[in-house]
């Protein structure tokens, strides 16, 4: 098996997890979402298992209906900086919204994290689908889905341009002559677009990996096009092998259409899993969690994907209601999948709500089963790697101790870190500095960027 086809792994560390009531489980630390020692322990376990990166999600609005983890948690860049100090190899990917942030600030924060970590930073670029986020950022409305991607494209162009402000040998540090830097190798961006006007240059140099790795998670038509053109890696959801294969092939083809090679765009389905000694053990663990979640809480959780639509008006045992375009401006690809699955399988509202908050994963099972499924998806071109989202607090430890050795024995997974940067461990090349290539200033105006 070629080096490029080795399986790559990431993990979503999410404090109290993604359920409304999982925090009630006796093994869960109820303050995990604001417990830095919890995050550092988890990251060190994952680093022992040679994971390529940890992945910190985020949101910009809460209400009394939000799941516990959302109510009280760390900001990603701050958290990842702390994790950087207690790890040596694992990548550090944080979520930041392009709809509600300034490109200069984000470029500086992410490049600072990249330097602090020695080239291990990544950016999960999101467009933020919640109305509450707009109200928290002095906006009267949430931009339409298409406009959010227009903003994202311009935002990312600015950030990447700022990251190239300094050529790699710009800082000379010549004490004898007094030259701290070579002025010819400092570049002003001069960006003038529809949404952003940014002069530059950035007040921090490029890191050893050039740019932080850009992840993107949009699976709508607009999101796929944006990711195929601009991202290094795609974070996605898939419930079946066939669904994952179709997405994988579509994204690789789109990358080719943008003049990229398939290896330049990595696909990472997220997987929820429970690991047990037997199928009965896995089911027992699942039922332990399910018993903690009242159906009312599951329905409230479902509503967040549909902009807090009131599902309580319906009979939970009746067929999932027809919703038309409700949710189309929120989590568009997610709500479309929910609607399609409910119609195809004739699910009730109760079934949809429970499966949304606590899905039955095809990956859950014994260590051998988990390894088999990962191998199948990887070898049948459904994934370049996976991002683990565990239901149970001991899942990372179990995976590292029991599943990783199986993957290594099969030649599917590395036995050591191959690089000291995130790009290196993902087999992604270092982006060339645009100015080093052309020796010309990039000048943007509103015509170019529309």
How many angstroms separate the CA atoms of 15 and 36, rounded? Answer: 10
The answer to whether 58 is a known ligand-binding residue is yes
The answer to whether 137 is a known ligand-binding residue is no
Give me the sign of the Cα torsion angle 420, 422, 423, 426: positive
The answer to whether 145 is a known ligand-binding residue is yes
How many angstroms separate the CA atoms of 159 and 161, rounded? Answer: 5
- The answer to whether 430 and 423 are in contact (CB under 8 A) is yes
How many angstroms separate the CA atoms of 12 and 389, rounded? Answer: 5
Distances (CA, A) of 107 to 9, 97, 161, 164, 199: 26, 12, 9, 10, 13
DSSP per residue, 164-219: TSB-TT-EEEETTTTEEE-GGGB----EE-SS-EE----SS--BTTBSPEEEE---
Q: 344 Cβ partners below 8 Å, 6+ apart? A: none
How many angstroms separate the CA atoms of 346 and 332, rounded? Answer: 21
Which residue, 172, 174, 207, is CA-closest to 186? 172
Pairing, β 191-192 against β 91-97: unpaired
- The answer to whether 154 and 196 are in contact (CB under 8 A) is yes
244's enclosing H/E stretch is: helix 241-257
The answer to whether 429 is a known ligand-binding residue is no
The answer to whether 95 is a known ligand-binding residue is yes
The answer to whether 309 is a known ligand-binding residue is no
List, as residue ranges, the binding site.
58, 95, 145, 149, 219-220
List, as residue ranges, the binding site for FMN.
58, 95, 145, 149, 219-220
């Amino acid at each position: 098996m070629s080096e490029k086809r080795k399986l790559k792994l990431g993990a979503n560390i999410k404090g109290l997890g993604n359920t409304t009531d999982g925090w009630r489980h006796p093994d869960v630390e109820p303050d995990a979402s604001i417990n830095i020692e919890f995050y550092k322990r988890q990251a060190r376990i994952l680093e022992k298992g040679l994971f390529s990166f940890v992945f910190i999600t985020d949101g910009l609005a809460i209400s009394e209906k939000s799941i516990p983890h959302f109510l009280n948690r760390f900001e990603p860049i701050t958290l990842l900086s702390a994790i950087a100090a207690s790890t040596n190899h694992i990548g550090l990917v944080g979520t930041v919204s392009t709809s509600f942030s300034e490109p200069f600030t984000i470029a500086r924060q992410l490049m600072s994290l990249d330097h602090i970590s020695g080239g291990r930073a990544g950016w999960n670029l999101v467009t933020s689908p919640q109305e509450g986020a707009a109200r928290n950022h002095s906006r009267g409305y949430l931009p339409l889905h298409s406009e959010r991607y227009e903003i994202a494209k311009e935002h990312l162009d600015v950030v990447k341009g700022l990251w190239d402000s300094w050529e790699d040998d710009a800082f000379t540090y010549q004490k004898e002559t007094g030259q701290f830097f070579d002025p010819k190798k400092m570049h002003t961006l001069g960006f003038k677009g529809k949404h952003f006007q940014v002069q530059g240059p950035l007040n921090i140099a490029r890191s050893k990996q050039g740019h932080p790795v850009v992840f993107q998670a949009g699976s709508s038509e607009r999101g796929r096009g944006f990711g195929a053109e601009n991202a290094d890696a795609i974070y996605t959801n898939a419930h079946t092998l066939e669904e994952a294969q179709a997405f994988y092939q579509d994204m690789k083809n789109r990358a080719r259409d943008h003049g990229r090679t398939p290896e330049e765009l990595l696909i990472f389905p997220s997987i929820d899993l429970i690991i047990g000694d037997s199928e009965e053990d896995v089911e027992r663990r699942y039922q332990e969690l399910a018993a903690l979640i009242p159906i009312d809480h599951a329905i409230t959780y479902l509503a967040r994907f549909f902009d807090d639509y009131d599902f309580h008006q319906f009979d939970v045992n009746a067929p999932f209601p027809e919703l038309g375009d409700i949710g189309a401006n929120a989590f568009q690809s997610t709500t479309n999948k929910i609607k399609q699955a409910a119609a195809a399988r004739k699910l009730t509202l109760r079934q949809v709500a429970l499966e949304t908050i606590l899905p039955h994963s095809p990956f859950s099972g014994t260590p051998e089963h988990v390894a088999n499924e990962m191998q199948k998806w990887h070898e049948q071109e459904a994934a370049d790697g996976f991002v683990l989202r565990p239901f149970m607090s001991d899942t990372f430890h179990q995976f590292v101790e029991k599943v990783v050795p199986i993957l290594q024995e099969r030649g599917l997974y590395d036995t050591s870190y191959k690089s000291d940067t995130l790009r290196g461990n993902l087999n992604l090349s270092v982006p060339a500095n645009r100015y080093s290539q052309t020796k010309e200033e990039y000048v943007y105006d509103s015509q170019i960027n529309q």
